[in-house]
Amino acid sequence: MSAPRLLVLTQTVDQGDPVLGFFHGWLFAFAKCFPHIHAVCLKEGRHDLPGNVVVHSLGKERGVGRLRYIWNFYRLAWSLRREYDAVRSMSCSAASSGD
């Protein structure tokens, strides 16, 4: 059996984020273990990830509202449904995400 493809849910993919910037390193490490990773985040910032990691933003950096986040999330979940075998969710408090 081949290694599973991974879907990662997180608040931010931004190596410069003062609170969640460490997660960029986790994605880089995960990329060595999984053939393909889709990272879905509320906000996309600066990152330098391997080619097997695709970052999908729900739009917070563009000022998208919560209803649009929900729409974007379900649209992505549906469109990617055949491209991942496992899901990893990174959970943080609302205070750390700036909400």
**In the chain, where are the structural domains located?**
6-97
pTM confidence score: 0.85
Burial (CB count <10 Å: 0-12, 13-18, 19+), residue 1: exposed
Average pLDDT rounded to a whole number, residues 62-69 = 91
CATH T-level topology, domain 6-97 = Rossmann fold (3.40.50)
SS (H, E, C) the chain: CCCCCEEEEEEEECCCCCCCCHHHHHHHHHCCCCCCEEEEEEEECCCCCCCCEEEEECCHHHCCCHHHHHHHHHHHHHHCCCCCCEEEECCCCHHHHCC
pLDDT tens profile 3-52: 799 999 999 999 999 999 999 999 999 999 999 999 999 999 999 999 99
| 99/86 Cα distance (integer angstroms) | 28
* pLDDT band, very low/low/confident/very high, at 95 (cuts 50, 70, 90): very low
